[in-house]
Structure 1
Amino acid sequence: MTIVPEYRATGRVERPVDGKINLVGLTREEIAEALVAIGEPARATRMRANQLWHWIYFRGVRDFALMSTISKTLQARLAEHFVVARPEITSAQLSSDGTRKWLVRFPDRQEVECVHIPEEDRGALCVSSQVGCTLTCTFCHTGTQKLVRNLTPAEIVSQMMVARDAIGEWPSPTGERMISNIVMMGMGEPLLNYENVAKALKIVMDGEGIALSKRRITLSTSGVVPMIERCGAELGVNLAISLHAVNDELRDVLVPINRRYPIKELLQACRDYPAANNARRITFEYVMLRDVNDSPADARALVRLLDGLPAKVNLIPFNPWPGAPYDTSTHAATKRFADIVLDAGYSSPVRVPRGRDIMAACGQLKSASEKERVSKRLALAEG
């Protein structure tokens, strides 16, 4: 069959689950193609694909026998050839502030983390796009883990489905939701896995399934300039930029991709972003590092950089991790920085750290399997 997705980082083909094709992550057209391949009449496949879509993405059903609008004969045939698979949850942690973190494992034993950050009547799900990361941002724990591979569309979508399973948010709500937003801010750089991320987000945005509006989705990038315009034109989701410095000299250190795409090019891509306007401003993420990038002069330079952009600034207290080379800015320095940006007319909220006690805060994600491997290597070296 030609519908099996690929691991684009390595060229490996994703293995079917127990010899069966996973329907999660396939488009309606690919589901229809799969049905034809098992002998379903072509004239019926569009209707059948829509039925499956409804059960998989609107109702969250995994067992074909529970899909009551599909005949029992077809249910049995579907069960012979397909699965509606979720990754294995190898760890589920609950923070004292209500943040939840899941470590999920895929059939090849690779793992990623995803995080749900609840508010009173809504919540955001932080989704990973790669196993590890290739960008080596020096303040980010994930950046200390080497890139293993890209996630497939199924593996990206399934993080949303795992979270909905755990929270009990099936079928898709029409009103308030506990998972009301998705932020592509987990492990990895989404724009370096664009094809798979785009396919997954189109599934999430489909109005007859999970049905999250593009206005409820934010994609965060460290600055893969050539892909920013395409993301805006094809997906129209909200854009967040991991900026963290106001000059190339410092940003080259903090965010090494800046050496390829410096600040001037990055900001021009932001000015050209098709989905940005005053109602949907670009978020500039700025981690506050003590005595590194948190001076009043830095704040004033940031204001000058953003001049004329529909922008807001998200100030992020640095979240420590073992061996981190930075300290968190003081409250006074952060407030002074925020006031300067706010006085210039840009919203500058200070993000409240969430999930620090379970290493689920911004910049702290790193798969437990990688942590365990590092611990074993250190123990052997010391022994």
Structure 2
Amino acid sequence: MRYNAAMIKPIKTYSLNNLKQLMKDLGQPSFRAKQLYEWLYLHHVGSYDEMTNLPQTLRVQLSADYPLFTPAVIDSQTSQDGTAKYVISYHDGARVETVAIPSSDGRLTVCCSTQAGCAMGCTFCATGKEGFTRNLSAGEIVDQILIAQTRMGERVSNVVVMGQGEPFLNYEQTLNALHILNDEKLLNIGARHITLSTCGILSGIDRLGTEPEQFTLAVSLHAAIQRTRDKIMPGVANYGLGKLKTVLLKYIERTNRRATLEYAMMNRVNDNEEDLKALIEFCTGLLCHVNLIPLNEIEESEFSPSKAPTMNHWYLTLNRSGIETTIRHSRGSDIAGACGQLKNAVKHR
């Protein structure tokens, strides 16, 4: 069936409350919305024909006016460490990458994307070099987790919203997706097991602080000196570090939850003593945890990861300064599935 792209309203763009209103508009009882939601996100069906407890007339009408699109996995790779990466294509050709990361303790973490591409333009990130295509709907975000769960053959226990895109530039659909993931009658993933990562969009951080769920906030900091951060993260150059700290303090006071600060360490770019001193100063007074990440190398990049002795020096110094710090070694780097490497590449066959 052909659809007018400007006119269609895919069913997976609707929240549960939106579906209840839609059912009312279509002359259906409100419980049909819950039935429909369960078919989409609990049973993960691919067509209205499979929704056997919905009236046939309703299924026909929904199929005609509110298409149910099913994404396709067009490529997959598995790392030596067991990490799996999927290139997923949506109905209009937009693509994202999703990464499934199994742990020895039985946890399965999925790193999902909220946008096809990214407009932030971080100079050390492969996604940033690809540019921005479009926002994803809530259902398209959830589909990534369901695909990974099916492919890996086990339940997803943790979700990190750290794939392609800036979640707070697609706030409504991203939060709708997290509500679906968190719903105990659907995927039932605990809010504290869902981490939302942002480059530092102040309005988004402020808004997240008003949400009732205890989602975890991670901020991609990567530099605590303004001129350095502006250079490597031009998309947030208008958000000063002083304002970022202020909004983080407000978030922490409001939620009583700590924030995670992600810091990708780049050799001779953001890893000297001045940078370390600035990071310690930024963290002072913040309830936070610092993740030091050796930069994952990407093709044709001018940046390289910090040396091991430098990483260790930062780790020890930050912890001695009373700042809880870990070194995070990314999984799946051999299949370009680690932080900063996602660019929708299809391997040569």
The one of 52, 56, 59 equivalent to 1:78 is 59
- Paired position in structure 2 for 1:376: none
Taking the aligned partners of 1:200 and 1:227, their CA distance within structure 2 comes to 16
| Conserved 8 A contact 1:182-1:217 | yes
After TM superposition, the structure 1 = structure 2 runs for residues 154-233 of structure 1, keeping only pairs within 5 Å, are 154-169=139-154, 177=155, 179-233=156-210
CA shift, 1:14, in A, is 6.9
C-alpha change, 1:362 and 1:49, in structure 2 (3 Å) is same
Aligned residue for 2:100, secondary structure, equals strand
Counterpart for residue 378 of structure 1: none
Is the contact between residue 205 and residue 211 of structure 1 (CA under 8 Å) also seen in structure 2? Answer: yes
Distance 2:69 2:30 in 1: 22
Counterpart pick for 2:100 among 116, 119, 126: 116
Which residue is 1:306 aligned to?
283
Matches within 5 A, 1:11-26: 13=6, 15=8, 21-22=10-11, 24-26=12-14
What are structure 1's unaligned runs of at least 5 residues? 5-11, 170-176, 373-383
Given that residues 127 and 340 in structure 2 are in contact (C-alpha distance below 8 angstroms), is that contact kept between their aligned partners in structure 1? Answer: yes
- In structure 1, C-alpha distance between the alignment counterparts of 2:119 and 2:100, rounded to whole Å: 24
> In angstroms, what is the RMSD of aligned CA positions?
2.6
The answer to whether the 8 A contact 2:120-2:236 is kept is no
Kindly provide the amino acid, as one letter, of the partner of residue 296 in structure 2: N
Task: Identify the residue that residue 368 of structure 1 maps to in structure 2.
Answer: 345
Tell me which moved more, 28-37 or 87-96: 28-37
- 1:342 partner letter: N
Give 1:339 deviation, angstroms. 0.6
Q: 1:257 to 1:186 in 2, by over 3 A?
A: same
Q: Which amino acid aligns with 2:121?
A: T
Describe the SS at the equivalent of 1:101: strand
Instruction: Label 1:100 to 1:14 Cα distance change in 2 as closer, same or farther (>3 A).
Output: farther
Matched, 1:355 2:343: no
Q: Are the aligned partners of 2:296 and 2:305 in contact in 1 as well (CA < 8 Å)?
A: yes
Aligned to 1:104: 88
Partner SS, residue 148 of structure 1: strand
Task: Name the structure 1 match of 2:42.
Answer: 58
CA distance in 1, matches of 2:202, 2:263: 18
Shift of 1:112: 0.8
Residues 348 and 110 of structure 1: is their aligned pair in 2 closer, same or farther, counting only changes over 3 Å?
A: same
Relative to the length of structure 2, the TM-score reads 0.88
Q: Does 1:127 align with 2:108?
A: no
Contact 2:108 2:158 in 1 (8 A): yes
How far apart are residue 184 of structure 1 and its match? Answer: 1.2
Q: What is the rounded CA distance, in whole Å, between the counterparts of 1:84 and 1:274 in structure 2?
A: 39
State the Cα distance separating 1:75 from its structure 2 match. Answer: 5.2
Aligned residue number for residue 30 of structure 1: 18
Q: Within 2, Cα distance between the matches of 1:36 and 1:257? A: 42
The DSSP-based 3-state class of the residue aligned with 1:59 is coil
Deviation of 1:129 after TM superposition, in Å, equals 1.2
State, as a whole percentage, how many aligned pairs show the same letter: 36
Shift of 1:64: 5.4
Contact 1:276 1:310 in 2 (8 A): no
CA distance in 2, matches of 1:339, 1:187: 31
When residues 276 and 365 of structure 1 are mapped into structure 2, their CA distance, relative to the original with a 3 A threshold, is farther
Aligned length: 340
Partner amino acid, structure 2, of 1:29: N
Q: Deviations over 1:6-26 (max 9, x none)?
A: xxxxxx64746xxxx53x342
2:141 & 2:33 partners in 1: Cα distance?
A: 21
Decide whether the 8 Å contact of 1:233 with 1:274 is kept in 2: no
TM-score relative to the length of structure 1? 0.81
Q: Is the 8 A contact 2:69 2:91 kept in 1?
A: no
Equivalent residue, structure 1, for 2:232 = 254
